[in-house]
Amino acid sequence: MANIKSAMKRAQIAELRTVRNRSVKTGIKTSIKKFELALDSKDPETALAAFKVAVQKLDKGVAKGVLHKNSAARKKSSLARKLNAM
């Protein structure tokens, strides 16, 4: 445990941000899994709707600084390829 007041505050803030970032990342993973399930169901409308939600969450993760923009772009590209191959 830190002894300096500013170091204690930084540790506390890091912990809060970790929790917040984890929830955003979990939401992204969940939306991607829902998209994969929609692809398996062979329903284009459902897959497209799930794709839009997943892309939205990825973009929001980039905006909040949780994901790197290239990482999100790679994931979006992969999802788009799967959608187009359907």
Q: Per residue in 8-23, pLDDT tens?
A: 999 999 999 999 999 9
Token pair in block for residue 52: 């839009």
Burial degree of 82 (CB within 10 A; 0-12, 13-18, 19+): middle
Task: Name the pTM for this structure.
Answer: 0.85
Q: Per residue in 31-86, pLDDT tens?
A: 999 999 999 999 999 999 999 999 999 999 999 999 999 999 999 999 999 999 98
5-85: which CATH number, 3.40.50.300, 3.30.710.10, 1.20.58.110, 1.10.357.20?
Answer: 1.20.58.110
| Domain segments of the chain as ranges | 5-85
- With vertex at residue 56, the alpha carbon angle to CA 79 and CA 69, rounded to the nearest 5 degrees, is 75
DSSP state, 41? Answer: T
